[in-house]
Structure 1
Amino acid sequence: MSRSFQTKGICAKTINFNVENGKVKDVEFVGGCPGNHAGIESLVEGMEVDDVIKRLRGITCGHRESSCPDQLAVALEEYKAENK
């Protein structure tokens, strides 16, 4: 099931993703830096949800309190909370 997460405080406006059997699939950032997003999307493809959260949570971007990787982790945390 495809999910859409509205980001806060970063360039990308939305993150679309799927989770299948506990693994992250089909991540797509809408807006922001295409090259960086392509790298994140490729690196997390097929990773366990908890591993992505552990690696990306808390990363900041310059003076911002969050970043695209951090917001993906937040989206996955929200997904986990809704699917207990």
Structure 2
Amino acid sequence: METFVYRPKGVCSQEMRFEMDGDIIRSVKIVGGCAGNLLGISRIITDKKISEVISAFEGVRCGIKPTSCPDQISKALLAYAAEHDIKVN
């Protein structure tokens, strides 16, 4: 297991902390943002493959913002995959 920390941009949340087991998300803790929604999202993506989550979350917008917390989660997972040479497509 490895902890991966990501600082999202353009959203209310300030930090995303992932517990990773290779290409599987074991847990996620998100600081800031809409607490209930992000807790629900964290529970939904626990024990999922990163490729599944990226596919579902990439490009999701929050209102008029060009990004959202789910989109930032996909960006975090893409960064993790690149850093660990994990293919996501």
Q: Counterparts of 1:4 and 1:83 in 2: how far apart (Å)? A: 14
2:55 equivalent in structure 1: 54
TM-score by length of 1: 0.96
Q: Which moved more, 1:64-73 or 1:21-30?
A: 21-30
> What is the CA deviation profile of residues 28-75 of structure 1, one whole-angstrom value per residue up to 9, with x for unaligned ones?
110011100011001000001100000000000001110000100000
Q: How many residues align?
A: 84
TM-score by length of 2: 0.91
Structure 1 ranges of 4+ moved more than 6 A: none
Instruction: Mark the runs of 5 or more structure 1 residues left unpaired by the alignment.
Output: none
Say yes or no: does 1:7 pair with 2:8: yes
Spell out the pairing of 1:30-45 with structure 2 (5 A cutoff): 30-45=31-46
CA-atom RMSD in angstroms: 0.7
